[in-house]
Structure 1
Amino acid sequence: MNIIEILLLLLAGFLSGVVNAVAGGGTFITFGAMSLAGVPPIAANATSSISQFPGYVTSTLAYWSDIRRIWRSALLLAAVSIIGALLGALILLALDNPSFRAMVPWLLLAATALFAAGPWLKPKPRPDAKIFGGGSIMGSLVQLVTAIYGGFFGAGMGVMMLATLGLTQSGDYHHLNALKNLLSIVIAAVAIIVFVSGGVISWLHALLLIPGVALGGYAGVWTAKRVPQIAVRLFVIGTGLFLAAYYFVWP
């Protein structure tokens, strides 16, 4: 690894932390940086999961008071998320790099479209609704599909989960976001265990990304107060489209 690749990964980690704090979508940046650095797509996807994990933890801690009230009602969805994430991660490991690489541009386009639609997919506040009234079969099935996607390819998972929880669960936006953060930890943790067991993590790249993600998350608070969220969202969408074009043109 040369100095340019090292600087690229450090910068990508920092930018990822910033955009996650402001608008979400940092996975696009870490995955893209590793792709440009020549990391095979399966390893880039798996390593990106590890680099984003600390952000899931800190986001969940920010909602700790809400999570203390909902964790019992979230157990069923957490169990479903474990199963889905396990299936998604195992499906990824069952593929070879050429097969997964052929899927990546389509996955990136879908994730970019999902991210772009994020503001319109946010659940409307329902403060008078019963908090998480459902352990419905439909809610569990929808969460299973979301968890499979998250275990297989995590980009856009948060937006997808927030949208689906808004359709299947009760509660206002902040309670749904707390549940989304909690389930994101579950999905990411299961996927990481599978990826580590499968030996597809590039630890050197992960060690370069994680400090940048942490610093970027802290700086994101400053950025959020000064940079319009739409500008950050457009940057992430542009990154997603660039990566999709990269994988289409350079197979």
Structure 2
Amino acid sequence: MSLAMIGLLFLSGFLSGAVNAIAGGGTFLTFGALTLAGIAPISANATSSIVQFPGYVTSTLAYRREIVRNWRGALILSVVSVIGGAAGALILLSLDNPSFRAIVPWLLAAATAMFAAGPWLKPKLSGEHPVNTPASIVAQLVTSVYGGFFGAGMGIMMLAVLGLTAGGTYHNLNALKNLLAMVIAAVAIVIFVGGGVVAWPQALIMLPAGAAGGYTGVWLARRVPQTIMRLIVVAVGTALTVYYFVTG
């Protein structure tokens, strides 16, 4: 790898950790960087899951007070996320690269549109803490299957769906989202490593950057407007969508 590519991979890892901590969308950045590095789609997707993980861990730790206050509800949704994340990752490994590549532009287009619509998918602020309902459990199962399979836009999907089905304030929902994303990524990583589809040289460059970005992102989420980060993610998602449609 050239120094420029190493720098791009490191920067994308850091920014992905930051934007995941704020709302979601970091997979767009890492998947895009890995695509530019010449990694095959399934391997790029699996490696992105590994890269996101440290950022999810550090942002979850930064939100630990909010999570502890609602640990029972978080535990139930974590179990659901293990099941869904494993199912999604196994579905991915059942495909070959040409088959996965054929659906990547459609997944990217849908995820980019959902992420762009994030400001209009406002959570229901009924009460301070999210409260589990049958709808929130089913919705989290579906979201975690998607997250294990692809993951781009998973964060904003969880914020929107859990906000509508479980309620809660933004920071309590964001804390829960980071925890559940960490669980989904952890399960997917075990399956992807077992399947031998991880691009380790690129992953080792991006992992520490993702951890630093995850912790920094919580600081930004508490203090900085999200518009600029959202615009960057939407721009990257749009560019990736066009690239995969044109080259497909």
Q: Distance in 2 between matches of 1:142 and 1:72?
A: 18
Alignment partner of 1:141 is 2:153: no
Structure 2 contact 121–160 (Cα < 8 Å) conserved: yes
Q: Distance in 2 between matches of 1:41 and 1:106?
A: 14
Change (3 A) 1:226 1:162: closer
Q: Distance in 2 between matches of 1:51 and 1:109?
A: 22
| 1:35-184 matches, cutoff 5 A | 35-127=35-127, 131-136=129-134, 138-184=135-181
Indicate the residue corresponding to 2:198 in structure 1: 201
Structure 1 contact 76–135 (Cα < 8 Å) conserved: no
Structure 2 contact 88–149 (Cα < 8 Å) conserved: yes
The CA RMSD over aligned residues, in Å, is: 2.3
Indicate the residue corresponding to 1:232 in structure 2: 229
Alpha-carbon deviation of 1:145? Answer: 0.6
Q: Which amino acid aligns with 1:76?
A: I
Q: Which amino acid aligns with 2:106?
A: W
Q: Distance in 2 between matches of 1:176 and 1:144?
A: 16
Q: Which amino acid aligns with 1:82?
A: V
Alpha-carbon deviation of 1:228? Answer: 5.6
Listed one character per residue, the Cα deviations across residues 96-152 of structure 1 (whole Å, up to 9, x for unaligned) are 000000111111111111111111213132236xx444342x322211110100000
User: What's the secondary structure of 1:95's corresponding residue?
Assistant: coil
User: What's the secondary structure of 2:69's corresponding residue?
Assistant: helix
Alpha-carbon deviation of 1:229? Answer: 3.1
Higher Rg of the two aligned structures: 1
Structure 2 contact 13–207 (Cα < 8 Å) conserved: yes
Alpha-carbon deviation of 1:223? Answer: 7.0
**Amino-acid identity (%):** 65
Q: Distance in 2 between matches of 1:86 and 1:153?
A: 12
Structure 1 contact 133–170 (Cα < 8 Å) conserved: yes
Change (3 A) 1:21 1:168: closer
Change (3 A) 1:39 1:217: same
Q: Distance in 2 between matches of 1:35 and 1:229?
A: 26
Change (3 A) 1:225 1:39: same
Q: Distance in 1 between matches of 2:175 and 2:210?
A: 21
Alpha-carbon deviation of 1:21? Answer: 4.9
Indicate the residue corresponding to 2:25 in structure 1: 25
Q: Distance in 2 between matches of 1:62 and 1:3?
A: 32
Between Structure 1 and Structure 2, how many residues are aligned? 248
Change (3 A) 1:72 1:23: closer
If the length of structure 1 is used for normalisation, what is the TM-score? 0.89
Larger deviation, residues 114-123 vs 88-97: 114-123
Listed one character per residue, the Cα deviations across residues 28-86 of structure 1 (whole Å, up to 9, x for unaligned) are 11100100111001110111111111111112112212212222233322221111111
Q: Distance in 1 between matches of 2:172 and 2:220?
A: 25
Q: Distance in 1 between matches of 2:29 and 2:160?
A: 22
Give unpaired runs (5+ residues) of structure 1: none
Alignment partner of 1:212 is 2:199: no
Give unpaired runs (5+ residues) of structure 2: none
Structure 1 contact 23–232 (Cα < 8 Å) conserved: no
